[in-house]
Structures are given as C-alpha cells and as structure tokens.
Amino acid sequence: MNHPHPLLDLPPLTADRFAAIERRVAALLATEQDVVITQGEALLPLEGCIRSGARPGSTALNIVTGPYGQTFGDWLRDCGATVIDLEVPFHTAVTAKDVERALAAHPGTDFVSLVHAEAATGNTNPVAEIGEVVRAHGALFYLDAVASVGAEPLLPDAWGVDLCVIGAQKALGGPAGVSAVSVSGRAWERFAANPKAPRRSYLSLLDWKERWIDTGRRALPHAPAQLEMLALEACLERMDAEGGLPVLMARHASAKAAARAGAAALGGGLEPYVYEAADAAPVATTLRTTGGVDAAELVAKALAVDPSVPLAAGGGALAREMVRVNHYGPAATPEAVRASLTALGAALTDLGRPADVDAALASATAAWA
Ligand SMILES: *Cc1c(COP(=O)(O)O)cnc(C)c1O
C-alpha cells in the first residue's frame, strides 16, 4: 500500500460540511436568499439560470459590456426569448439611464442580464442604480458577479438582484471548479413556472432546490466536487484570516489605482483602456496600446522579461490593442503591479517606444497608498 495521499485519501465531504460552506458563501454575499453551490465552473450556473429563467415569449434586455454579455445573448436566443442587446463600448460602463431608456422602449421586458465587472475588458457597471430601475420595471435581474466578488462591493439583496452568480477563481484566489448563485423567491417562482427549465439535468437549479434545499439540506443529491469544495472553504478562511472582505476589496482597489497611475506615468503610448476611473474594475486593469504597438507582441515580450507577471493580451480582436493586468487574488499586491509595469516598460523600450519605468513605479507606489 502506498502512503496516504493528501489530495486523494480524504474522508467523504458530509452534507453538514457542504451546508456550512454554503452558509459562508451566503454571508460573503450578505444575502438571505437561497444560495446554491454549483458543482462546476461559473459557466454552469450562468447558463443554468438563463435556461431556467428565459423561455419562448420572454423578452430579455441583454446588456453587453464585454465578451460574456455576448454569450448570454446567444443562450437567451437559444431559449426562444426575444433579445434586446444593449451594447456599450468596452472603454466605458452602462448607466442606469441607458437601462431605463431601453426598458421604456421595450416595456414587455421580463429578464435583464448584466455583467457586474468584466475581467476581460476591465470595466465595472453601477449595479445598485441599475437594480433600482430594473426593480421598478418588475423584470427578473440576473447578474454575473464572477469578476467582482471579493474585489468590490456586491450586495445582491440590497440591489434587487434575483440571480447573482459568483466564482472563486478571480479576486477570492480560490478554485475554478465550483461556483455559486443566490436565487430570490421570485426567481424560484419563475423557474418553477417554466416548462422548459432544466430538470433532471446537470444544468438544473430546480433539482438542487427540490432535492437539497427543500429537504433540509440533509443528503447531497450526488457526490460533491470534494477537492474544490474544500478549496472554496479554504479560500474563504484565508480571506477571513487576512482581515475579511474589506481588506481584500481594499487590496484590489489599491491595485487598480496603482496600475492606472503607473501606466499613465510609464509612457510609451500605453494608456488606461477604460477612460474613467469610476468605470474601471478593481479586479483587473486594461491598458490600450497606441502608435502601432501590437498588444499581443508587447505582452509576449514582457512575459519573456518576467514570466511571473499577471499579464495577458485581450481576447479575440482585442489582442491587437489591449493589455490586461490581472491583478486579482494573490496578484493584488504592490509587488505584482510594480513587476508588471517594469516588464511592460522593458518590452516597450525594446519595441522602440521608450518608457519611464522609474516614473511609473513612483506613481504606482504613491497611488497604492
Ligand atoms: C472570469 C469570468 C467568468 C468565468 O469564466 P472563465 O472563462 O472560466 O474565466 C465569468 N464571467 C466573468 C465576467 C468573468 O470575468
């Protein structure tokens, strides 16, 4: 017999332990709603909620401020809903006024989908104000908060969010293989009344309600993703040990301020992609290359200088002009931001676009505080 392996030879994860982790997630979201921990990456509850809440005859307002919004629109159309896409340029955020106008133009809207913060494009949307408008209209409000949870305030109950989906892999520095959603009473009613809502399916949230929540959370419907559940618990414990959510959010706010200020001082044609600081997400800072510098090439050079920096080029067509500084989770530190600026400065200089690394580091350090 080999030695017991720390990842393999674990006692079973009990229903009580599972329920306790759920309660921790509910506390994280300050929610009284039902929290379902979904046994897969966040795309699972994101898709499950749309397939449960939308149906032929639905009209959905789909707010697109980045690539995830485009995916949600495709799912909504696939469910037979009439979809109104409200597209906003990636360098800004949507406003409550924009949403109010769209709802007035489409009074039959019964579902609104929104991404809170976009790690892929670096913007964040004013959910509290939008929630007021959506609530006044009476539509169900679906929010992708995967990139905002842990990085900035997220209050689904206070903001009137009916379906709030989170994952642990961004600001929380946790596992990617489980996710969670808080579900309002209104949302459960909508799901139950939808004959097309997934049932006896891995996408089904109603299954979890019937087989887990409504039976008092006594027996798990199937074997849980044990390692991921333990990792989720561990990342919440680590957050608490650091001082809790306020400390984690402050670290992300500082990383954003430092990255924006540092990039502005760096020169070399690099500038914050999101114009207004208020529209920029604390989870990740996106930068725009100018003067013909290809962002993918710049990032490749920066990573060759320092492979440890949390840099990536934008996805798809954005790879030509967008650099992402993914300063989230364990990378929400002054060191990671400074190293990113240093590597970008070296890469820009190498590409014939002289950059002032000393000025960038001085600005970043000042802005962190
Ligand atoms: C990261 C993220 C997700 C999760 O998707 P991945 O493709 O696994 O990274 C979902 N929504 C948003 C807004 C995200 O930033």
Confidence band of 139 (pLDDT split at 50, 70, 90) = very high
pLDDT tops 80 at residue 1: no
* Cα of 329 from ligand 1 centre, angstroms: 14
Question: The dihedral of CA 43, 46, 49, 50: what is its sign?
Answer: negative
pLDDT tops 80 at residue 2: no
Residue ranges of alpha helices (H) inside 138-244 are 156-159, 185-192, 205-208, 226-242
- Residue with CA at minimum distance from ligand 1 atom 10: 146
Q: Mean pLDDT throughout 261-265?
A: 97
pLDDT tops 70 at residue 350: yes
Query: What single-letter DSSP state applies at residue 11?
Result: P
What is the token pair recorded at 18? 């599972």
Sheet holding 82-87, edge to edge: 34-38, 179-183, 163-167, 140-144, 111-115, 59-64, 82-87
Binding residues for substrate: 324
The DSSP line for 22-83 is HHHHHHHTT--SEEEEESS-THHHHHHHHHHH--TT-EEEEEESSHHHHHHHHHHHHTT-EE
Binding residues: 324
C-alpha span between 337 and 304 (Å, rounded): 17
* Cα of 162 from ligand 1 centre, angstroms: 19
C-alpha span between 173 and 64 (Å, rounded): 26
Task: Output the pLDDT for position 363.
Answer: 98
Task: Output the pLDDT for position 4.
Answer: 85
C-alpha span between 163 and 141 (Å, rounded): 6
Hey, which of 49, 68, 172 would you mutate to test ligand 1's pocket, going by the most ligand atoms within 8 Å of its Cβ? 68
Hey, which of 146, 165, 169 would you mutate to test ligand 1's pocket, going by the most ligand atoms within 8 Å of its Cβ? 146
State the Cα angle at 154 between 232 and 77, rounded to 5°: 90
Please count the residues of the chain.
Answer: 369
Task: Output the pLDDT for position 60.
Answer: 98
Please name each of the domains of the chain with its CATH number: 15-241 (3.40.640.10), 245-368 (3.90.1150.10)
> How many C-alpha atoms does 9 have within 13 Å on its Cβ side?
6
Task: Output the pLDDT for position 48.
Answer: 98
Give SS3 for 179.
Answer: strand
State the Cα angle at 164 between 159 and 170, rounded to 5°: 110
pLDDT tens, residue by residue, 216-241 = 999 999 999 999 999 999 999 999 99
pLDDT tops 80 at residue 198: yes
Task: Output the pLDDT for position 36.
Answer: 98
Mean pLDDT over all residues of the chain? Answer: 97
Residue 115 alpha carbon, nearest atom of ligand 1 = 13
* Cα of 144 from ligand 1 centre, angstroms: 9
Confidence band of 251 (pLDDT split at 50, 70, 90) = very high
Give Cβ neighbours of residue 43 (< 8 Å, ≥ 6 apart).
Answer: none
* Cα of 146 from ligand 1 centre, angstroms: 6
Task: Output the pLDDT for position 6.
Answer: 87
Residue 355: phi, psi to the nearest 5?
A: -125, 155
Residue 42 alpha carbon, nearest atom of ligand 1 = 4
Q: Mean pLDDT throughout 100-121?
A: 97
C-alpha span between 17 and 247 (Å, rounded): 26
pLDDT tops 80 at residue 5: yes
Give Cβ neighbours of residue 15 (< 8 Å, ≥ 6 apart).
Answer: 217, 218, 219, 220
Residue 120 alpha carbon, nearest atom of ligand 1 = 15
* Cα of 66 from ligand 1 centre, angstroms: 11
- In this structure, the residues whose C-beta lies within 6 A of any atom of ligand 1 are 41-42, 68, 115, 118-120, 144, 146-147, 167, 170, 176
Percent of the chain with pLDDT over 70: 100
Give Cα separations from 330 to 155, 172, 327 (angstroms). 23, 8, 8
Q: What is the pTM of this model?
A: 0.97
Give Cβ neighbours of residue 153 (< 8 Å, ≥ 6 apart).
Answer: 249
Residue 169 alpha carbon, nearest atom of ligand 1 = 1
* Cα of 261 from ligand 1 centre, angstroms: 26
- Residue with CA at minimum distance from ligand 1 atom 3: 146
> How many C-alpha atoms does 280 have within 13 Å on its Cβ side?
26
Residue 45: phi, psi to the nearest 5?
A: -70, -30
pLDDT tens, residue by residue, 38-64 = 999 999 999 999 999 999 999 999 999
pLDDT tens, residue by residue, 143-190 = 999 999 999 999 999 999 999 999 999 999 999 999 999 999 999 999
Residue 170 alpha carbon, nearest atom of ligand 1 = 1
Radius of gyration of the chain (CA): 21
User: Would you tell me how many other CB atoms lie within 10 Å of the CB of residue 91?
Assistant: 18
pLDDT tens, residue by residue, 310-328 = 999 999 999 999 999 999 9
* Cα of 42 from ligand 1 centre, angstroms: 7
Residue 66 alpha carbon, nearest atom of ligand 1 = 13
* Cα of 259 from ligand 1 centre, angstroms: 21
